Amino acid sequence: MISNFRHGSLVLFCIFFFQFLFLVRPSMSSFGEENPLVEFSSRSDLVEMAGYGEQKLSSVLVTGTVICDVCLGREADIHAWPVSGALVGVSCKSEGNKKTNLVKEITDDYGEFNIDLPSHLHGIPNLDKSCIVRVLRLPKSSPCRPSFIKKPEMIKLSLADNGIRTFTTGRLKLTCKSSKHFQACPKN
């Protein structure tokens, strides 16, 4: 009696299995044929439509220039030149989060820096109030020094177009180390 029960359940299992193969499976394979969007699109097109493409949806750039101000002689004539090789950092604090995110970049020959913020920082509300820029390190050969009394520079939105937001600090001014050739500027 037990063997008849096993034999009967095996037969029922086989019947249901073959019905599944022949009835359900053809409907699953026809998914792409019924949807022209899927049928005529490449894999990369489908991935991009789903929002998982290789291209960034937005970019946030922070730009600026590091310069060194000096006075030559005793006149109030100020001369400035770019500081290349300086390490600049953008520090952003997300709302309600005590963690500060720091992104670093080295200035080019013209003292300019362009820092592309990582995408997890793009959604911080009031980015211009949440991020600051500091000169972290100067090259050993630089005759300049940072002004430690001065507050860190805030960023200001300068351009927003086609998913790219560009913030700027303008010029980050440093002062020259005291030496025989360079003197402090007279204060007015």
User: C-alpha angle 52/55/61, rounded to 5°?
Assistant: 125
User: Is 62's pLDDT higher than 60?
Assistant: yes
Q: What pLDDT is recorded for position 93?
A: 84
**Do residues 88 and 112 lie in contact, with contact meaning Cβ atoms separated by under 8 Å?**
no
Would you give the DSSP letter of residue 183?
Answer: B
Range with the poorest average pLDDT among 18-22, 88-92, 96-100, 183-187: 183-187
User: What's the start-to-end Cα distance of the chain, in Å?
Assistant: 111
Residues forming a β-bridge with 131? 92
Q: What pLDDT is recorded for position 75?
A: 54
What's the Rg (C-alpha) of the chain? 32
Dihedral sign from CA coordinates of 150, 151, 153, 156: negative
Residues forming a β-bridge with 12? none
Averaged pLDDT, 44-61: 66
Q: What pLDDT is recorded for position 157?
A: 92
User: Is 180's pLDDT higher than 50?
Assistant: no
Percent of the chain with pLDDT over 90: 26
Name the average pLDDT for the chain. Answer: 75
**Do residues 174 and 67 lie in contact, with contact meaning Cβ atoms separated by under 8 Å?**
yes
Averaged pLDDT, 16-40: 59
Q: What pLDDT is recorded for position 126?
A: 84
- Structure-block tokens of residue 10: 């095996």
Residues forming a β-bridge with 93? 100
- 18 compared with 59, residue with greater pLDDT: 59
Averaged pLDDT, 48-52: 56
Confidence of residue 15 (pLDDT cuts 50, 70, 90): confident
Would you give the DSSP letter of residue 84?
Answer: T
Task: Please state whether the predicted TM-score (pTM) of the whole model is above 0.75.
Answer: no
CA 79 to each of CA 13, 103, 128, 139: distance values in angstroms, whole numbers, following the listed order: 90, 30, 30, 20
Its CATH architecture, for the domain 59-176, is: Sandwich (2.60)
